[in-house]
Structure 1
Amino acid sequence: MKAILIVSVFIIICNVSALDACPKCGKTLVPYPLSTDENCGNPSYKVYCNNNILQFLSADGFFYDILTIDPDAFSLVISPPLLQKNSCYSADLSSGGFKLDENLPFNISSRNTVMLFNCSTSILLSPLNCSTNSICRDFERSEMGSGCTDTLCCHYKKDASMTAHRIRIRLGGCTSYTCIVDAKPGDPIESWNYGIELQWSPPFSSRRQ
């Protein structure tokens, strides 16, 4: 009897999850709890379907394309901002970089390695790796990073000691950044997985019953 009850509850939960899932955005699946509309998903996990492209909105109103979603790991990866042409300025510089609303159930994953470019010398007082061996030098030598060649750059692994809600850039500090997910020491630049991984807290108590 107990086994039957457990199976029944499992089936009900699965069915509710399927009913709550939002329609595809273009070719991209939108799994629960992500929500593109008030009639599907969970509104606390809001994402946007703009011109058939699934996007995430920062706390400062900047849209980032969603590259991948892993509902089993409660995570998604957004595209880092592009560098403005022939410059070392990230497209989201005017909003101070990437910032999450701390009232929402998302945080920046500790699997991210952030590279900062065109930094002021004050950053040398920080614990970041700004040495000639920093992986940011490899990015500078690539076509994507050519606008930042020979600037002061640094990299760091996003971990629990740092804010889980912001990657900050600014004039007078560092003016651009990029990010790679799940980087391993010695990985060649050709294997880098560009993106900013976000994790969400599972909404077990918030699904409609």
Structure 2
Amino acid sequence: MYSIEHRAYKQRGVRKIMETKQRKELAFSLGDFYAKPIAIVSFELLLSLGLVIFLGLFAIKPTLTTMSDLIKEIDDKKELNQQLEKKVVALGTAQGVYLTYQSRLGLLDEAIPSQPQLIKSLKTLEKLATDDQVTIESLSMATIPDETTADVSSDKLQRVALPVNVTVVGDYLAIRSYVESLRNMRRSFVVDTVSFSIEENRGDRKLRATITLNMPYFGVPS
């Protein structure tokens, strides 16, 4: 009897010890859980996510914007560089053309001068008339151009026509030779029209020709 009671008492003691041990283990597990709860872990996760968003808005986005601006600037400079290269090629071509015709520029200036050169041109008309044996009866102009030299940029200069009417007397071949001489001069004389008339005076027939021409030059139109 005693042995049975003693054994039962011993078993109750063992159960109490085991229950106490289990309670301690449970208390330790709960303490560890509450020391690092899920709420704290979730807060740390949200904090990390917020930090990433903050960096994306205030650090990464300006960097991406700067990179985009730099790429656009590089593209613009590439386009500008291509345009400059085309201009350099065009200038090289223009220089080559200029060097080719450089020796003829003097002839161009002589043909169409940068000033009217009215006195010189009229003297040329008189000399050709003497050489071709015709007589100048009259010479008229609608306007007298200004011979003063002004500082005008070349891009504003235009070809200006200076009209002149010349009436000459002589035989047909002489008048024809005079017109051809005008056309062949280095100084440009553009013959527009030639009209003939015959005048009879006491049996003497005289051939008269009225020549309309212009003497172009480069200047500023009035």
Band of TM-score, shorter chain:
under 0.3
Mark the structure with the bigger radius of gyration.
Answer: 2
- What TM-score results when the alignment is normalised by the length of structure 2? 0.26
**Higher relative contact order structure (alpha carbons within 8 Å, sequence separation ≥ 6):** 1
> Which has more helix, going by share of residues?
2
- What TM-score results when the alignment is normalised by the length of structure 1? 0.27
> Which has more strand, going by share of residues?
1
